[in-house]
Amino acid sequence: MAKKAKKKVAAKAATSSRKTKKVIAVKSVKARKPAAKKAPRKATRRSTADVAKLRKAVIAGLKSGKSVEVVAGQLGISRAYLYRLKSSG
């Protein structure tokens, strides 16, 4: 019968310190699992009429003295999109 060859482990075995006789831990070389990715949200497409209504609502909200965060929260859009709607002409 032939003997099976043992697989060599890539990580070093723990060693002990000569001075203190304590075991020194060795880092594991196992690959870490990548972080779970969030599923991408589906981009909503708006018609030209919807964008025009949003733009009017943005301008009216900002003229009334509301902050950008409040207006964006009320309309359900991001602040970046709000700035884009505000500045597009």
Question: Locate tokens 């902050």: which residue?
Answer: 67
- The pLDDT value recorded for residue 48 is 92
More confident residue, 18 or 72: 72
**Parallel/antiparallel/unpaired status of strands 15-16 and 23-24:** antiparallel
pLDDT given for residue 3 in this prediction:
61
4-11, Cβ contacts within 8 angstroms, sequence gap of 24 or more: none
Q: How far, in Å, CA of 34 to CA of 80, rounded? A: 30
Q: Is the pTM of this model over 0.85?
A: no
